[in-house]
Amino acid sequence: MRRNGIGLAAALLLLGWALEAPAQDRRPPQKSPEGIKVERDLAYVPGGHERQKLDLYLPEKKSDAPLPLIVWVHGGGWQGGNKGNPPGLWLVKKGYALASINYRLSQHAKFPAQIDDCKAAVGWLKANAKKYNLDPRHVGAWGASAGGHLVALLGTTGNVQAVVDLFGPTDLLALAGKRGDAESPISKLLGGPAQEHEKEAKQANPITYVSKDTPPFLILHGDKDTLVPLSQSQLLVDALKKAGVEARLITLKGAGHGGEAFGKPEVRQAVDDFFDKHLKGGAKK
């Protein structure tokens, strides 16, 4: 990653977003770029699990106005990854706060613990908005793979104003297929094969909760993704549009499950413009 901390392509390659990835990302957290300060390991559930912590990146120069907040949720098949190396630090230099959160993994607790933790983190940040100079009315969620799934759930069941979902699973029952596999990441998340846990699979499907009040979505997905097929994102964007929600799906030609394609300047610009529009330009309150 470049010294200024805005090498998105490098970040995407290193974050361990693969759906089946079992290992946590144990690399040390990246050093904060010049002009950015970080508050590490803030417990958003005081006295809670060791995973219920977040890192908060803020501009070193204090802003006169509260900062719109973006919450990054890492991937790793709900069983790996961590908050240590979030992308998007360039947004902090543009006047955002960026929170990177850990959440309980499937070996710690079954669904819905993961989305409960995401909501608890957002709630804690809003409750502490004054302390950290955050704008609790303008909060965006951004995540990839399993993190994309969780931010989609945040958007459809939580209280955020904008969502960027990178190749996140949507319909876990469809993704699991007809043959149950007790060792798959989905089975570990739900507590058993999806076919035997249809109720839980439906509860974990963001489409279940889509309504006219759902915030805008930007979804990015590679058309060569063999882990989470493009059809998963198409299902979600179709449901959002049917409900009258602003939703855009960008299909990256030739891209798989993450990789360099998601770090191209035009992709970064799309994310940049989306958050600027909805978190700085009159997002719903």
pLDDT tens figures, 29-67: 667 778 999 999 999 999 999 999 999 999 999 999 999
28 pLDDT higher than 70 = no
Determine the pLDDT at residue 96: 98
The separation between CA 2 and the C-alpha centre of its own chain, rounded to angstroms, equals: 23
Domain that holds residue 162: 35-170+205-280
Task: Report which secondary-structure segment, H or E, holds 209.
Answer: none
- How many H-runs (helices) and E-runs (strands) does the chain carry? 10, 8
Q: Which helix (H) or strand (E) holds 62?
A: none
Dihedral (C-alpha) 224, 23, 54, 187: value to the nearest 10 degrees?
70
- From the list 83, 87, 80, 71, the residue with the least C-alpha distance to 135 is 71
The CATH number for 259's domain is 3.40.50.1820
Instruction: State the pLDDT confidence band at 27, using cuts at 50, 70 and 90.
Output: low
Whether residue 114 lies inside any domain: the answer is yes
Domain annotation covers residue 187: no
The predicted model scores a pTM of 0.89
Q: What's the chain's Rg over C-alpha atoms? A: 17
Q: How far is CA 150 from CA 66, 102, 165, in A?
A: 26, 12, 9
In a domain, 231, yes or no: yes
177 in any annotated domain: no
In a domain, 142, yes or no: yes
CA gap 238, 248 in Å, rounded: 10
Work out the average pLDDT over 225-243: 98
Q: How confident is the model at residue 14 (pLDDT cuts 50, 70, 90)?
A: very low
CA–CA separation, 142 vs 127, rounded Å?
Answer: 20
Total domains in the chain come to 1
Separation of alpha carbons 142 and 71, rounded Å:
6
Residue 106 lies in a domain: yes
Domain-located, residue 108: yes
The whole-number pLDDT of residue 10 equals: 35
Give 123-176 pLDDT, tens digit per residue: 999 999 999 999 999 999 999 999 999 999 999 998 999 999 999 999 999 999
- Taking the CA atoms of 11, 17, 21 and 24 in sequence, report the sign of the dihedral they define: positive
Mean model confidence pLDDT for the chain: 89
Residue 182 maps to a domain = no
Average pLDDT, stretch 66-74?
A: 98
